[in-house]
Amino acid sequence: MVKNKKINYKPIIRIGLLLLAVCFIVVGFFQLVKYVPSVKEALILATTVKPETFTELYFEDHLSLPNKVTLFKENNFAPKQNQRIDCLL
């Protein structure tokens, strides 16, 4: 058995100080989020998934739609005469 074994406390102290610093940073972050509303809103916006908004169009006669749509040219999707267009908003 070895007598007078010396224990090196420097790494233990350094790890303790590092954990204390991490705790202060985490507590400071939570206090910042709790007391500053804009930080709380920014955190919520950054971590919340919003569903995409889109509009669906339903055509009664979808076979009469044009096959190609050209940019910078007038594209007419009007129904034939005496047809009614139903639009739900």
Q: What is the tally of structural domains in the chain?
A: 1
User: Please, what is the Cα angle at 53 between 52 and 56, to 5 degrees?
Assistant: 125
pLDDT for residue 89: 45
Is residue 29 assigned to a domain? yes
Is residue 82 assigned to a domain? no
Residues 44-54: what's their mean pLDDT? 85
Q: What is the pTM of this model?
A: 0.44
pLDDT for residue 61: 75
Q: Which of 62, 66, 64, 58 is nearest to 87 (CA)?
A: 58
Is residue 4 assigned to a domain? no
Query: Cα(33)–Cα(46) distance, rounded to whole angstroms?
Result: 13
Is residue 46 assigned to a domain? yes
Is residue 25 assigned to a domain? yes
Is residue 43 assigned to a domain? yes
Across all residues in the chain, what is the average pLDDT? 80
Cβ–Cβ < 8 Å for 33, 43 = yes
Structural domain for 30, as ranges: 10-50
